[in-house]
Every structure is written in structure tokens, then in C-alpha cells.
Amino acid sequence: MLPQPITQIPEGELELPFFYNTVKSLDQVVDVDYYIPGCPPEPHQIWAVLQVVVAGLLQGAPLPPAGSVVGAGSVAVCEECTLEKHEKVITRFYRPHEIVPEAGVCLLEQGIVCMGPATISGCSALCPQVGIGCRGCYGPLPDVQDQGAKMLSAIASVVGAGEASMEEEEIVRDIQAVMDTLVDPVGTFYRFSMAHSLLRRADVNGSNGHEPVDETETGVSVSGYEPVPRKEVLA
């Protein structure tokens, strides 16, 4: 049940602000000059932005093109993560309170959801280093249109379910049993990128996000997507 904008109560009329059922990113409302990745951005990234702006204002140095991401790497978080990696075969997923991860070993291999395969580098894999799966706050890799879909693809390739001798229906049941242990995949995979995703929004009153989206309301079409679920800096 959704709250109504205007509700009559004994004391009078209660008015609530109208909420859209589609969350917008800042750059779907106003123009954004530069993006700083991270939640929150690391000090070295904030300093990088300041250096770029100061150099442009005081020294006449060329500024990066509008819409540039300042402070991010160019590869996946997994590439800069020092945890030991092996062939991944996942038979179930664990929430953080359900398992004590083995030190020094890839968290995803242990069934702990880690967005490292779908997230751009630049953070030195700080969260995985202390046993917490990457949450994806740096946003997607370059040329990746949908961060959540990228992560789902990565997980689908390492689910250990079924055998070659099994019937297709049995394999499907095995796969479903593994995926049932993954709690809130949409909320997990799109924590920072829902507004820029192909889904555009989560399930709304059973619509599963399939209601037509008014592009004049969102300010951007799917084809105009820019994968930047990051902190924005306005000039």
C-alpha cells in the first residue's frame, strides 16, 4: 500500500510530497561536469578533482571532457584484489552473518556476493581485503551498459549445479536451488546503479518494472544511458 499525497485526519488535512516510483540519478535531472567514484569517494579522488580544476583555472591546463570520471581505474576490482583466486564453483550463497570467510581467499569463491567482477577499479579492493564483499560503489566497467546484468552473467558462469547425466528439468531445479540462496539480487546488484540500468526501477506493485516509463519524466532514454552511478560534482 502506497501513502496518498493527501489524507484526511481528525486534525485536518495531511499532505505528503509526491514521490516518483522511478528513482532518478542526478545527471538525469541536471548536467554533471565530473564524476567521483566511490561511496564515499576516497581522499585521493577528491584531491585529483581539485588538482584538475585548479590546474585548469590557474595554469590554463585543459580540463577533462564534461562527464568524465575522475579517480577510477580501467579494470575490474578483481584485478587489483590481492585475495587468492582459484576456479570458482559456487553451490550456495551466504549472507555476511552466515559465514566467517577464510582469510586470503576470494570471497566470491566462498559464496559471499562480491561485485568485484562487475565494478571498475580504483579503490584498491578495500572492502574485500577486510572480508566484506565489494558493493559496487565505483560503478560499472567502461563500455558496460548494465552493472547488475554484468554481475548476473559472472555469477551464472560459476554456479555449480547439475551434471551432464542429469535431465534438463533436474539441472534447472539444481540451479534454482543455488540461486534461491541469493537474497535480494536486484537490491544487491543494483545498489548504486538502478537509475541507469536497463530495468530502470525495481518491482512496483507487482508490475515487475514493466510499466511504460515516461522518458519526459526520467529525462533520459535507455539508449542514452551513461553508466555512471557515482558521486557527482557540479561546476
pLDDT in tens, 1-17: 566 788 888 999 888 87
Q: Is the pLDDT of residue 220 over 60?
A: no
For the chain, what percent of residues have pLDDT higher than 70?
84
Residue 101 near residue 58, CB atoms below 8 Å: no
Q: Is the pLDDT of residue 216 over 70?
A: no
Residue with cell 539508449: 223
Tell whether 17 is covered by a domain: yes
How many domains does one find in the chain?
1
Residue numbers of the domain that contains 109: 6-233
Joined grid coordinates for residue 157? 558462469
Higher per-residue pLDDT: 126 or 18: 126
Angle in degrees, CA 9, 13, 16, rounded to 5 = 105
Joined grid coordinates for residue 33? 561536469
| pLDDT per position as a tens digit, 150-186 | 999 999 889 988 787 889 899 899 999 999 999 999 8
Tell whether 1 is covered by a domain: no
CB atoms within 10 A of CB 91: 12
DSSP string, 10-62: TTEEEE-----SSPPPGGGTS--SEEE-SSSPPHHHHHHHHHHHHHHHHS-PP
pLDDT of residue 206: 53
Tell whether 62 is covered by a domain: yes
Residue with cell 559496487: 136
- Give backbone dihedrals phi and psi of 35, rounded to 5 degrees, phi first: -115, 135
